[in-house]
Structure 1
Amino acid sequence: MGKQVRVPGRGLGVASVVLLVLGAVLTCVGALGGYFFMPTKVVYSDNMKPTHLRGDSRVFNLLVTKVDRGDVVLFDASVWGERGMFVERVVAVGGDRIEYWPGVRTLILNGKPLDEPYVLGADAVAGSFAAFSVVVPEGRLFLLGDNRGNSADSRYRFAETEGGTVPLSAVKGAVIEKGHPLVVGLRSTMFVGIAVLSLGAVSGIASLRRRRAAAAAAPVAYAWQVPPQGH
């Protein structure tokens, strides 16, 4: 059995392939998860002031599967006969009763005053021009802006939808903090993937150079085996 010939640069070549595949996977996972499904969008309205100011950048989780009271959501405003995506806060969910009575300085949720420390000027009923009492249907949401005096929200949409509510199917995402471990982890994964791809490329180049160097040196090393011309 003959002696196995060692191929110069083979180890680097194998390492290069492994690193390139791993880097591609990490980059795709990080880019899709951290940027495509958790994009950064600019707030274009004053309706969520002071929590989210016009011009602020916010990350939205488009993979959100559950929406709770207090969440700030991105939704398709076509359900209200509007164009584009709106941002509002979930105040009541399916099965809740949300009420407003003139003279009362808070909204009433399920028979109790609703504590809303996030509203502008601590005025939770600003812009509420008429009494209402809405039982939110299952699978729907009652949405309000934090700037109650400047938000065309569920209070103004009774004519368009059931109690001014929005179906869960219209929700496309929810605000998630930029420093949330999921956002940081996925976005960091993309940069790690890019670094691994770069290392794989460097390994591949080094492997190729070694093979070329070995091929160039081969005729010199074995020149004595070639018989002289004319003999």
Structure 2
Amino acid sequence: MAADAGRLGVLDLQGGVQEHLDHLRRIGVAAQAVKRATELEGLAGLIIPGGESTCLARLLDIFGLSHAISQAYSGGLKLWGTCAGAILLASEITDEPPFLGLIDMAVSRNAFGSQLDSFNRVVEVPAVAVEPVPVTFIRAPKIVRVGAGVRVLLQLDDYIAAAEDEQILVTVFHPELTANLAFHRYFARKCGLTPSDNDAANLDPDWTPQSWMRFAHHS
């Protein structure tokens, strides 16, 4: 599958779709929402956003996207799963069968409890950014094991919060829900793209949680 001149996709079934699109546009990367299998053609990478993993799995099957994503991955498509997206990509899920199963790791769903147990934290991820990165956890899973071919990017307490292999990035938190652009720049580079060079401005001073709304009607 040949990538076009630098376009990324965001799976548009549930979750922070517009927020991801907003962050990608802020780093100068062309991006589109993806609802159909044909819209995967030519993409350099696809973000699978957070949401409810069981619901997302059903929607992927209903829209005929589960097989299409696996096929596109086999053809070289890079993937980034955030929160529920990371669950769907895992090869092992505690107490239930895996779904896409494309990265060698085990996750525990809803490991932090309910929505009321959501929290923010500032972390250091040297592979991704020089400066500390703010992250938001919402009903987050925990990565409890990774295979030999998977690199840990962020370890917190008794769990792994971010990891990657050659083709897949996973984060159990939501980078799209903060002003920070570091993880979106990192994924764009992983996909072979060239985001805007201003890494020092990963924290966008003009961003608000509603910034994505000015782009929504274009998607």
Task: Please confirm whether the aligned pair reaches a TM-score higher than 0.5, indicating the same fold.
Answer: no
Shorter chain as denominator, the TM-score bin is under 0.3
Give me the TM-score of the superposition, normalised by structure 2: 0.24
Of structures 1 and 2, the larger Rg is shown by: 1
Give me the TM-score of the superposition, normalised by structure 1: 0.23
Higher normalized contact order (CA 8 Å, seq sep 6+, divided by chain length): 1
Higher helix share: 1
